[in-house]
Chain A
């Protein structure tokens, strides 16, 4: 963010606690000192207000980054994102552009129960006019965020609440590495089954792939990372190779990008499928508080293993 703010004066950050508090998750740490109150704007608790304000500012040429303390709170700004940000370019027949980035942590933060544990990607992926990305590594987060800030369309940028602790190499500022939207990442090559996921489950899947490798099962792991636009070509090519596909996602199972991936695979790789495409996802219930129950709801390695055994006809 700071590289992009350095680069373009029209870029500013607005959200709750982004300035003096240094960010609820410290994502905006140090920005206030560097760029001042003009460009690091602490907003009152009024998501619809400051999200809408950002859209209005973007309509007339600024490039706001809106931080939602969590994406759960975006639901009170849903109208601004869906009805205003996403539609303005189309409703004005291209006269106006809305280069705004909405970002924040997504999905359960562990034991915060039903209202604070939303995985919002299904809501926003269903809206033409929005782009939706969900990186799972520091490098992808940086490259995709830079692309998002420079994009002239509104971008929903999802960050895994429990991925903030991940450490990893990121390119130096001089590298100015941008990761284009609509490009999935082949995390690991394999030949028995294609596993497609995005966001939070990725580290779990990398670990699982190691374990399964030792058991003689070779996973081809794809991080979709850009959900809209979706890189169907990479996914379909992989399934044509492995003939099997399991989609792993943390959003609820009814619809959403997980189901979209299944749909695209069955359409474009139908003749290559040796088994039904399965999904491993959260259980279809609101998130409970108790740790044991929460662990039961959130998709974990056992649920993924079960799906893999099924598509490999090992049961």
Chain B
């Protein structure tokens, strides 16, 4: 068993955890236990997990509203994320944020952000701090392909490029901005062409193989860490579910979806690689059973947790003075 297989096994576990977690979240949503919007990451797990493998625990990650995968990949517990989806006091943000707003300062998850493109200037600011304080942390900013048309994207890239900030913008191109295919929202087939306008480096690759993601991300992250400036990375991926739970998915054919599921399911791909490299089926089954237990425990925990507290309402509106 090679070195990368050693590393692949925990990555597969995390991807499988995200997969199973979201399947259960979808079930809970259909039972009315989760409200609002629920944007699933199923099919894109390799991106978050591969990117996570390319950064340090001290680096920052900020993302859009499709944020469960990122939080779980960073190390937020399945219990705290599921509880947040259930709107419970034990949730990551005590039931104040829900699916779209996962924040975990301990794991340096700076939020799921629900206004498209709004997080890019924030990411530039987080990276600005590293430069200001002369520290070496890097900021990873996830965005969807739809975000590349909005002002925040351009202004964020513009400032990051201008000041060579240590940030990597990861555009997860899942080919649909909500229900509109990419070719109907931008004249470019290659989104990384947008990087050139702001003096950013760029990279573009297929995001179904988690090891590929990790390796290509690593290059961008190291460039940022070493003062080489920001990179716009376009990762080609595919979401197996609708834009959100309320999306019937009429804009794409069943054949297309089946084709992707058959050839580009990142979890299946990683599992196959592990088996090929000699990892025993029993071992994988045991690992999957462990994940199953963890996810079901998270659901039970969320169900049994106390509801969000009235006292949270007023507690976090203002931070007060800094006590100097």
The answer to A–B direct touch (Cβ < 8 A) is: yes
Residue-by-residue, is A90-104 near B (CB-CB < 8 Å gives 1, otherwise 0)?
A: 111111111100000
Q: What are 8 residue pairs bridging A and B, where the CB atoms are less than 8 Å apart in the complex?
A: A53-B125, A56-B122, A59-B122, A60-B126, A60-B129, A83-B115, A93-B96, A98-B319
Give chain B residues whose Cβ lies under 8 Å from the Cβ of A50. Answer: 121, 155, 159
CB within 8 A of B128: which of A53, A84, A95, A151?
A53
Residue B147 interfacial (CB < 8 Å): no
Does B31 interact with chain A (Cβ within 8 Å)?
no
Complex Cα gap A56–B129 (Å): 8
The yes or no answer to B9 lying at the interface (CB within 8 A) is no
> Bound state CA distance, A150 and B97, in angstroms?
27
Q: How far is the CB of B185 from chain A (nearest CB, A)?
A: 20
Q: Count residues of B near A (Cβ-Cβ below 8 Å).
A: 46
State whether A91 and B156 are in contact (beta carbons under 8 Å apart), knowing that A52-B121, A55-B122, A151-B322 are contacts in the complex: no
The residue that B97 contacts in the complex, of A12, A60, A93, with Cβ under 8 A, is A93
B122-140 with Cβ < 8 A to chain A: 122-129, 132-133
Q: Does chain A have a CB within 8 A of B110?
A: yes
Q: How many A-B residue pairs have CB under 8 A?
A: 154
* Contact of B93 (CB < 8 Å), options: A52, A57, A93: A93
Listed stretches B204-212, B252-260, B274-282, B309-317; interface member: B309-317
| A80 and B132 within 8 A (CB) | no
* Alpha-carbon gap, A50 to B103, bound state (A): 22
> Are B319 and A56 neighbours in the complex by a CB distance under 8 Å?
no
Q: Evaluate contact between B125 and A44: CB separation under 8 angstroms.
A: no
Q: Are B317 and A57 in contact (CB under 8 A)?
A: no
- B305 close to A (CB within 8 Å): no
Task: State whether B93 touches A49 (Cβ < 8 A).
Answer: no
Interface size on A, residues (CB 8 A): 47
Q: How far is the CA of A228 from the CA of B311 in the complex (A)?
A: 21
Chain B residues with Cβ under 8 A from A61's Cβ? 129
Q: Is A129 an interface residue (CB 8 A)?
A: yes
B118 touches A80 (CB 8 A): yes
The yes or no answer to A108 lying at the interface (CB within 8 A) is: no
CB distance from A53 to the nearest CB of B (A): 4
- Find the A residue at minimum CB distance from B141: A56
Q: Choose among A38, A59, A80, A93 the residue that contacts B94 (Cβ–Cβ < 8 A).
A: A93
Asked if A65 CB lies within 8 Å of chain B CBs, one says no
Which residues of chain B in 292-324 are interfacial with respect to chain A, using CB atoms and an 8 Å cutoff?
Answer: 312, 315-322, 324
Asked if A43 CB lies within 8 Å of chain B CBs, one says yes
B111, A91: Cβ atoms closer than 8 Å: yes
* Cα of A151 to Cα of B152 in the assembled complex, Å: 27
B120 touches A52 (CB 8 A): yes
Contact partner of A52 among B101, B152, B321, CB < 8 A? B152
The CA of A58 and the CA of B133, in the complex, are separated in Å by: 13
- Kindly list chain A residues whose C-beta atoms are within 8 Å of the C-beta of B322: 99, 150-152
Are A93 and B316 neighbours in the complex by a CB distance under 8 Å?
A: yes
Is B158 an interface residue when CB atoms closer than 8 A count as contact? yes
Report whether A79 and B111 are in contact in the complex, using a CB–CB cutoff of 8 Å: no
| Pair A56/B118 contact, Cβ less than 8 Å | no
Q: Contact at A57–B125, with CB atoms within 8 Å?
A: yes
A54 within 8 A of B: yes
Least distance between B263 CB and chain A CB atoms (Å)? 38
Known contacts A49-B121, A52-B124, A53-B159: A92-B103 contact under CB 8 Å: yes
Q: How does the 8 Å CB contact mask read for B161-177 relative to A, with 1 for contact and 0 for none?
A: 01000000000000000
A49 touches B111 (CB 8 A): no
Q: Are A52 and B122 in contact (CB under 8 A)?
A: yes
Decide if A280 is an interface residue (CB 8 Å cutoff).
no
Interface string of B100-124 (1 = CB under 8 A from A): 0101110000110101001011111
> How far is A131 from B317 in the complex, measured between Cα atoms in Å?
10
Chain A residues lying within 8 Å of B321, measured Cβ to Cβ, are 147, 150-152
Please judge, given known A-B contacts A52-B122, A56-B125, A57-B128, whether A94 and B316 are in contact too, CB under 8 Å.
yes
Q: Indicate if B142 sits at the interface (CB-CB under 8 A).
A: no
Which of A8, A50, A92 lies at the interface centre, i.e. has the most chain B CB atoms within 10 A of its CB?
A92
Indicate if the CB atoms of B324 and A91 lie closer than 8 Å.
Answer: no
- Shortest B156–chain A CB gap in Å is 6
Known pairs A93-B316, A94-B315; list 15 more (Cβ under 8 Å). Answer: A49-B121, A50-B155, A52-B121, A56-B122, A59-B110, A76-B151, A79-B115, A89-B318, A91-B93, A91-B97, A94-B316, A96-B103, A97-B319, A99-B322, A151-B322
List residues of chain A with CB within 8 A of the CB of B113. Answer: 84
Given the complex of chains A and B, what is the CA–CA distance between A56 and B127 in angstroms? 8
> In the complex the two chains form, what is the Cα distance from A294 to B121 in whole Å?
37
Cross-chain contact of A91 among B101, B128, B319 (Cβ < 8 A): B101
* Cβ contact within 8 Å between A128 and B159: no
Least CB distance from A75 to B in Å reads 12
B21 at the interface (CB under 8 A from A): no
Residues in B with CB closer than 8 Å to A12 are: 132
**Binary interface profile of A, 59-79, with partner B (CB < 8 Å = 1, else 0)?**
111101000000000001001
Asked if B86 CB lies within 8 Å of chain A CBs, one says: no
Is residue A46 contacting chain B, with contact meaning CB distance below 8 A?
A: yes
Q: Are B126 and A83 in contact (CB under 8 A)?
A: no
